Every structure is written in structure tokens, then in C-alpha cells.
Amino acid sequence: IARIRDICGSKGRVIGAVSGGVDSTVAAKLMHEAIGDRFHAIMVDNGVLRLNEAKQVHEMLNKDLGVNLTVVDASDLFLSRLDGVEDP
């Protein structure tokens, strides 16, 4: 926690990407513990997540762990770019 505070400093905001997996969830929680509401997590819903996964991640991080999280719905853009792709 102290190392994170040293790296981030005492001013400004920090953003971090999360996937909802163990690694990014732990990292987000540590960031929140270190710098509080100055940390904001972002998750991109690409349209190929499990059913309700983005909602579940939001509830876990925001409600259960107190981490500020914004879920960006990029599913239409992502899926449109896959149109015609047979073997990504």
C-alpha cells in the first residue's frame, strides 16, 4: 500500500483497467486502499462476456469492495468490427 502511495503521489486521479478477474480485482482493491476515491476503475464490455458478467463485476467492485467503477459498453463497436471475420 505504501509503495502504491509513493508511486501515485498525493494529488491527481488514477485510472486502471479491470477485467473482473482475480488479478485486476486485487489490483483495483489495493489501489482503492492506497489512494481511496482518487482511483477509478474502468471495464470495457466487448459483447463477448458471460451473461451478466459486467453487471456482476460492477456489483462486486463498486458495492462490495467500494471501488469506483465505470463499465463502458463497447459491444456494438467491437462486434461490428468482427463482422465477416471467420477465424479471429
List, as residue ranges, the binding site: 19-25
Annotated binding site for ATP: 19-25
Q: Which of 44, 52, 50 is nearest to 74 (CA)?
A: 44
Nearest 5°: CA angle at 40, between 47 and 30? 105
Task: Please count the other Cβ atoms lying within 10 Å of the Cβ belonging to residue 53.
Answer: 15
